[in-house]
Amino acid sequence: MTKNLHGKVALVTGASKGIGAAIARRLAQDGAAVVLNYSASVDQAQAIVDDIGKAAGQAFAVRADVSKVDEIERLFAATLSHFGKLDILVNNAGIPLRRPLVEITEEDFDHIFGVNVKGTFFACQQAAKLMTDGGRIINLSSSLTATMLADYSAYVATKGAVEQLTRSLAKELGPRGITVNAVSPGPTDTELFSVGKTEQEKQRFGQLAALGRLGLPQDIAAVVALLASDDAHWITGQNIRANGGTV
């Protein structure tokens, strides 16, 4: 595989498992030095760092809660201290919430907005301050913003905010050659997606796609890798629905 990200430094939030882990692995495979952010899964994050190192890549892991601005600042400081610059930011860290509107508490609301929106917003702020010109910001949203499913009100509200933030920042950072895009996965076969679902339910989700299956983390990572590359220099302010034709 062509090392088209050779010499680039990428920071991936929420990178210890699932889609985030696949993104970190793919960016490293494409030649980038990768900073893996995690909030709790230290062993999983370190295992990915070790795998990247065994493949002659460069990576290290940093624990940080992206719902706290001081920890975001520490995460970016660690990135610059370790690798000297930042070229690519992937805001993947996020939490789901599937619950009827009448059951959502203020604590639930503050928690999901703290991680999904506040975390993305202030990570973008740090990138705007510290990223090299010509950099790439890729925010993870969800194809649920394009559907009408019950019980996802708080979650889709956070992802709708991420999509609008992406559009605005593309215009704001465009003069520096920094592109800002969103990737919106559909149903993707991860540990998090599987929680509370039977195999039959998962299969039904897969059948919603035009391509007839659930997405894989690697499918989403491939789209992120494209947007992170020089080949995507003319794509900005867009929301790529990587969902196999689900919506």
Exactly one of 38, 76, 155, 205 is catalytic; which is it? Answer: 155
Domains held by the chain: number: 1
| Residue 129 pLDDT class (50, 70, 90 cuts) | very high
Record the pTM.
0.96
In a domain, 245, yes or no: no
- For the cut 80, the answer to whether the pLDDT of residue 181 exceeds it is yes
| Dihedral of the alpha carbons of 213, 26, 235, 149, in degrees to the nearest 10 | 30
In a domain, 247, yes or no: no
What is the domain extent for residue 125?
9-240
In a domain, 4, yes or no: no
From residue 79, alpha-carbon distances to 2, 6, 147, 219, 230 in Å are: 25, 17, 37, 26, 21
In a domain, 99, yes or no: yes
Quick: pLDDT tens for 213-240: 999 999 999 999 999 999 999 999 999 9
Domain containing 217 — which CATH number?
3.40.50.720
List strands edge to edge, sheet with 88-91: 59-63, 33-38, 9-12, 88-91, 136-140, 179-183, 239-240
Cα–Cα distance, 203 to 223 (Å, whole number)? 23
In a domain, 85, yes or no: yes
In a domain, 2, yes or no: no
Determine whether 38 is an active site residue. Answer: no
